[in-house]
Amino acid sequence: MSKSRKSDVKTAKPKQPPKEPQVVFAFRLSEVDRNLIHKAAGPAKATQFVRAAALAAATGDHKIFETLVEQAKGK
């Protein structure tokens, strides 16, 4: 039997607690809409894209919203 080496053992890094309490905000959408969001956001960035768009709309930040629209056009 082989013995484990220290280099083979992975140690988990302690997770940093969020600076603010985090909550979940969920909504339902069609598969077609979900695919459009994924296409616009790019690989593995849909949540960040939707969060940024929602916050830009909620705060009236036209510049950020327009930047997101331009980003989506480029995909």
Please give the Cα distance from 63 to 8 (Å, whole number): 48
Q: Cα–Cα–Cα angle for 40, 42, 47, nearest 5°?
A: 85
Domain ranges of the chain: 29-75
Q: Cα–Cα–Cα angle for 59, 63, 65, nearest 5°?
A: 65
Please give the Cα distance from 14 to 46 (Å, whole number): 26
Query: pTM, whole model, 2 decimals?
Result: 0.68
Please give the Cα distance from 58 to 36 (Å, whole number): 21
Give the model's pLDDT for residue 15. 82
Model confidence band, residue 69 (pLDDT cutoffs 50, 70, 90) = very high
Give the model's pLDDT for residue 14. 82
Give the model's pLDDT for residue 3. 58
Model confidence band, residue 27 (pLDDT cutoffs 50, 70, 90) = very high
pLDDT at 37 over 90: yes
